[in-house]
Amino acid sequence: MAGIKSSFVRRWTLLVSVAFVVGYILYTPIAHGITGGHGRQLSATQLVSHSVALVVVGFLVSTAQRRALAPLVEIGVGRVSLAVSGFVAAFWAGYYQTAIEGPDMDILLGYCVLGSALWLGRLPFQGSVVATAVAILSFPVASFVGELFVFAGVLIFDVTPNFNQDSLQHSVFWLAVGGTTGLLGGWVSGLALRRILHKNDLTSDDMHNGEKAIF
């Protein structure tokens, strides 16, 4: 068990990063491949294509998280569906909200859910409130850092940003944001989750008393 926990951060970061990269390689062809570019307002078919693309990303990342936690904590496959649904709902809620201007609330809210919905409630946070908060916030904070990298590149290379219309720019944007979230957010959340696991000394038997977990 000690050896598994010591390698947890590396395994978690690797699996989450690969899932983000693969997910966002597929994201643009799915979201824009048939329906094309768009402005701020999306048509019904564009909403569907983007939602399908979000489901793909959410499924890959949530499945990677579940696999990384599998040697330590049993999390049912139903929790993956819950995490994906929450991610898509939070993304669109952030996209269409009008209360906060400026930051991309779709990404921030969506990644807040994507980074925590799979394990939140399955790991006890008594005595680990700070570590739990760090794990929840690591994905949205890392995504913001990824956006800063993108816009720094826009300034350095003097590119006119047209992310929603230009497929190449759209793909580069999401790969940069997703890749940064996987590497930086995955590493930070992995450290926080390892602290929770270590503090509570959790195993699958401890969590579920030998019963098969559904969620």
Neighbours of 124 (CB within 10 A): 13
pLDDT tens profile 47-87? 999 999 999 999 999 999 999 999 999 999 999 999 999 99
Q: What local confidence, expressed as pLDDT, does residue 202 receive?
A: 53
Place 207 in a pLDDT band, splitting at 50, 70 and 90. very low
Q: What is the pLDDT of residues 173-206, one digit of tens each?
A: 999 999 999 999 999 999 999 999 987 775 444 4
The answer to whether residues 27 and 53 touch, using CB atoms and an 8 Å cutoff, is yes
Q: What is the average per-residue pLDDT within 2-18? A: 87
Q: What is the mean pLDDT of residues 16-42?
A: 95
Look up tokens 């824009």; give the residue: 32
Q: How confident is the model at residue 208 (pLDDT cuts 50, 70, 90)?
A: very low
Q: Which two tokens stand for residue 130?
A: 């700070």
Residue 102: what pLDDT?
84
Question: Sign of torsion, CA 125 126 127 129?
Answer: positive
Per-residue pLDDT tens over the stretch 101-152: 888 999 999 999 999 999 998 888 777 899 999 999 999 999 999 999 999 9
Q: Where residue 209 falls among pLDDT bands split at 50, 70, 90?
A: very low
Instruction: Give the model's pLDDT for residue 3.
Output: 58
User: Cα separation of 122 and 117, whole Å?
Assistant: 10
pLDDT of residue 63: 98
pLDDT for residue 2: 56
pLDDT of 131: 95
Q: Where are the domains of the chain?
A: 2-208
Supply the pTM of this predicted model.
Answer: 0.91
